[in-house]
Amino acid sequence: MTIKNNLLVELFVEELPPKALKKLGEAFASVLRDQLVAQGLADAASVLTPYASPRRLAAHLTQVLPQAADKAISQKLMPVAVGLDAAGQPTPALLKRLAALGADAAAVPTLRRAMDGKAEALFFDSTARGAMLADGLQKALAEAIAKLPIPKVMSYQLETNCELPGWSSVSFVRPAHGLVALHGDAVVALEALGLRSGRETHGHRFEAAADPIVLRDADSYAGQLSEEGAVIPSFQARRAEIARQLAAAALKVGGGAVPIDDDALLDEVTALVERPNVLVCAFEREFLGVPQECLILTMKANQKYFPLLDAAGKLTHQFLVVSNISPADPSAVIEGNERVVRPRLADAKFFFDQDRKKSLASRVESLGKVVYHNKLGTQGERVERVMRIARALAEALESDPHGHLARQATQAAQLAKADLVTDMVGEFPELQGTMGRYYALHDGLDAAVADAIEDHYKPRFAGDSLPRNEVGVVVALADKLETLVGMFGIGNLPTGDRDPFALRRHALGVIRMLTERRLALDLRAALGMAFAAFSAPKAGAVELVDPTDALEAFIYERLAGSLREQGASAQEVDAVLSPRPQRLGEVPKLLAAVRAFAALPEAPALAAANKRIGNILKKSPEADAHVSELLLKEPAEQALHAAMQRVLPAADAQFDEGDYTASLQTLAALRDPVDAFFDGVMVNAEQSDLRLNRLGLLMLLHAAMNRVAQLERLAA
């Protein structure tokens, strides 16, 4: 019985890029495992444990064989008629093929005959020797290195390991200095990146108890690195330890303080330290007069600190540092971090104080010097367009006869981009909109306008909140429509893998605002308002190809994808969106109605009948939606007409009231008369007046049945 041992492979390198470390570690380990499984050296029962720290990528895999099992191979050679002559002797073609496989004429009697389609063929059966671990692991390691999602490759020189001195060029994410490969307690001979495998690795740069660390076996890796090397090699274990220490430090501070919740920051810090040690630091309280978003951003982005928030979510003057060293007296580390953060906060305070010396309104003119797009003009021209669109949208939605919404939306649109030319946003672009709100409030503007300035970028990502008030919704909608119409109008469309102007995200933002706020606004009308804004003289009078049709289709495609992601079936979505409902706020109700209708026992028959009617009408362009009762000759058509007279007014009334579910359920009563009509009536009668009358009856029925959705799309 072959004994399976656990395997460890480690690449010891210089500090890896922190934002990529998690993916690098997962990719290295998973590709290594997949390659070994593919070669039969490991199987589904083998448990993979990835390791990734700032200076190492490693993988531990259980139950790995020293040699894969032999594998029976059957290779089709050629048809018998081609491989053997009339006397049963091998032809030159067969001998040549056998030679290519390392066999000769002696193998001919052992060839297997079997039917291959309609002809008998010759098959060569052999046994492939299972891969040895050293060979299989060498291949797997090369594949794992080649498939690493390296953000940027480095090239460096490495001294050659041979009698003749020299240097070789190596390309990798960072210079590699060590390679470990252990199967149980035995070293597996490998070569990679100019290195030969062994059992030695290294721990913490300053706090390791031993250097190098000589690994006893594959299973002692994590324990020895922790005990002798002062390193937690597992990314997940190190991350959990940092989270634990952050919570404990916040609890020690008291007052309900909690560290800011930021998974991306936690991942990045986990990738920066090997032995985390969380310390509490503080800055002067005077800096709390600066908007907390500025202070939080500079601490997180520049210093990788965790700001502490109080129970109300307000920033405190204390913050947490994740240090990579654990001195007996941490005061020097604490003082050093406090000294480093002070100039950052002072800069933020300076920018904030300087920016408030000028009003937002006074900065609007400067936007005329900022290029937005070479074909679409400056940010100043763009602002003029957004203002026109916002005013048009507000007037369409306005319920106040005094035009209060239009005035506020126009003002917010005019000032929405003004913070782009402030010092604070110049230093921290992530704060655009946020700083505009603070500066608008400082200028004494209405809170609704200030909130709209911040919110006009929303929703910025999937799951983001919508603007908090009606003014913000109007300006956000105007801003996104301007971008979409402008980019589509100059032919700058997203491709399969590229969307540099985030047009898909903008389209989804438009969809969410129209849908979730149930705005009384037709999609095509809104697109028309945006297109019209580009012809205004102050907006640069940009020449665009009318993008309305293409953009409308693009938005419906995004809406269809969004609805399917939320659990709607493709048939239901197709039925609802095929008629292109213009009020997107009605789509959820339409979808619910279709789903309820599809559950009715009458639904399949009515959907099939609706499809049949549609096909008939497509072939009958002469049809007219008119019915003469005098021409209804057959009992079945008379019964259908009578049923329609009873049912359609009720269904139409329910539709007009917005009760789409009830409307479709009312129409379900037509199933029996519709079935009877198709069973007993010849639609394409020879008499033209009868034929046209029956087509008119079907046209009226078809129109009524498809007011809510195209029911034929539900037909199997």
Range of the domain at 674: 600-714
The pLDDT-based confidence of 78 (bands split at 50, 70, 90) is confident
319 and 452 share one domain: no
Whether residue 594 is contained in a domain is answered as no
Give 535-575 pLDDT, tens digit per residue.
876 655 677 889 999 999 999 999 999 999 999 999 999 99
pLDDT of residue 165: 59
Predicted confidence (pLDDT) at residue 603 exceeds the cutoff of 80: yes
Mean local confidence (pLDDT), 204-229? 94
- Comparing CA positions, the residue from 587, 600, 589, 567 lying closest to residue 714 is 600
pLDDT of residue 541: 62
Last residue of a domain, one of 227, 254, 275: 227
Answer whether 470's CB lies under 8 Å from 456's CB: no
301 and 331 share one domain: yes
Give 139-157 pLDDT, tens digit per residue.
999 999 999 998 888 888 7
Give percent of the chain above pLDDT 90.
Answer: 67
Whether residue 318 is contained in a domain is answered as yes
Contacts of 200 (CB under 8 A, 6+ apart): 178, 180, 212, 213, 214, 215
The pLDDT-based confidence of 159 (bands split at 50, 70, 90) is low
Rounded-to-integer distance, Cα 272 and Cα 194, Å:
26
Rounded-to-integer distance, Cα 156 and Cα 153, Å:
10
Better pLDDT: 625 or 89: 89
97 and 149 share one domain: no
Last residue of a domain, one of 227, 250, 266: 227
pLDDT of residue 617: 87
Give percent of the chain above pLDDT 70.
Answer: 97
Name the DSSP class of 218.
G
pLDDT of residue 70: 79
Predicted confidence (pLDDT) at residue 264 exceeds the cutoff of 60: yes
Give 172-208 pLDDT, tens digit per residue.
889 999 999 999 999 999 999 889 999 999 999 999 9
124 and 136 share one domain: no
329 and 245 share one domain: yes
User: What is residue 258's three-state secondary structure?
Assistant: strand
What is the DSSP code string of 410-475?
A: HHHHHHTTGGGGSHHHHH-GGGTTHHHHHHHHHTT--HHHHHHHHHTT-S-STTPPPPSSHHHHHH
Mean local confidence (pLDDT), 706-716? 86
Whether residue 577 is contained in a domain is answered as no
148 and 28 share one domain: yes
Mean local confidence (pLDDT), 637-647? 92
Q: Give residue for tokens 């969106």.
A: 577
Q: What's the pTM?
A: 0.81
**How many other C-beta atoms lie within 10 A of the C-beta of residue 203?**
26
Predicted confidence (pLDDT) at residue 704 exceeds the cutoff of 60: yes
pLDDT of residue 369: 93
Answer whether 39's CB lies under 8 Å from 68's CB: yes
548 and 497 share one domain: yes
702 and 639 share one domain: yes
Last residue of a domain, one of 206, 227, 248: 227
Predicted confidence (pLDDT) at residue 273 exceeds the cutoff of 80: yes
Mean local confidence (pLDDT), 300-324? 95
324 and 399 share one domain: no
Rounded-to-integer distance, Cα 287 and Cα 342, Å:
9
Rounded-to-integer distance, Cα 98 and Cα 613, Å:
65
Task: Count up the domains in the chain and report the number.
Answer: 5
Task: Please state at what angle helix 470-489 crosses helix 404-415, rounded to 10 degrees.
Answer: 60
User: What is residue 232's three-state secondary structure?
Assistant: coil
Q: Give residue for tokens 């409307």.
A: 663
Rounded-to-integer distance, Cα 610 and Cα 701, Å:
9
Give 486-533 pLDDT, tens digit per residue.
999 999 999 888 888 999 999 999 999 999 999 999 999 999 999 999
Determine the longest span between alpha carbons in the chain, in angstroms.
109
Name the DSSP class of 518.
T
Phi–psi pair at 704, nearest 5 degrees:
-65, -40
Burial class (CB in 10 A: 0-12, 13-18, 19+), 181: buried
Within 13 Å of residue 2, how many CA atoms lie on the same side as its CB?
15
Whether residue 578 is contained in a domain is answered as no
Whether residue 582 is contained in a domain is answered as no
Contacts of 67 (CB under 8 A, 6+ apart): 2, 41, 130, 131, 132, 133
Predicted confidence (pLDDT) at residue 624 exceeds the cutoff of 70: yes
Answer whether 708's CB lies under 8 Å from 664's CB: yes
Predicted confidence (pLDDT) at residue 274 exceeds the cutoff of 80: yes
45 and 141 share one domain: yes
pLDDT of residue 128: 73
The pLDDT-based confidence of 161 (bands split at 50, 70, 90) is low
- Comparing CA positions, the residue from 361, 356, 341, 244 lying closest to residue 298 is 341
The pLDDT-based confidence of 162 (bands split at 50, 70, 90) is low
Q: What is the mean pLDDT of the chain?
A: 91
Predicted confidence (pLDDT) at residue 123 exceeds the cutoff of 80: yes
Answer whether 216's CB lies under 8 Å from 38's CB: no
- List C-alpha distances in Å: 209 to 203, 229, 235, 567, 715: 8, 6, 21, 56, 73
Phi–psi pair at 50, nearest 5 degrees:
-85, 150
Instruction: Report which residue type is found at 94.
Output: L
Q: Give residue for tokens 């029962």.
A: 45
If DSSP states are collapsed to H, E and C, what string results for 176-217?
EEEEEEEECCEECCCEECCEECECEECCCCCCCCCCCEECCC
Whether residue 621 is contained in a domain is answered as yes
Rounded-to-integer distance, Cα 64 and Cα 47, Å:
10
Instruction: Report which residue type is found at 17.
Output: P
Mean local confidence (pLDDT), 319-337? 95
Please count the residues of the chain: 716
Among 48-52, 373-377, 394-398, 618-622, where is mean pLDDT lowest? 618-622
195 and 170 share one domain: yes
328 and 471 share one domain: no
- Comparing CA positions, the residue from 644, 674, 513 lying closest to residue 587 is 513
User: What is residue 94's three-state secondary structure?
Assistant: helix
User: What is residue 646's three-state secondary structure?
Assistant: helix
Answer whether 248's CB lies under 8 Å from 213's CB: no
- Comparing CA positions, the residue from 257, 208, 252, 250 lying closest to residue 231 is 208
Give 460-470 pLDDT, tens digit per residue.
998 899 999 99
Predicted confidence (pLDDT) at residue 682 exceeds the cutoff of 70: yes
Whether residue 36 is contained in a domain is answered as yes
Interior angle at CA 498, CA 494 and CA 504, nearest 5:
50
Whether residue 586 is contained in a domain is answered as no
- List C-alpha distances in Å: 298 to 57, 353, 428, 445, 541: 30, 16, 8, 27, 40
Predicted confidence (pLDDT) at residue 351 exceeds the cutoff of 80: yes
Mean local confidence (pLDDT), 260-270? 95
Within 13 Å of residue 619, how many CA atoms lie on the same side as its CB?
8
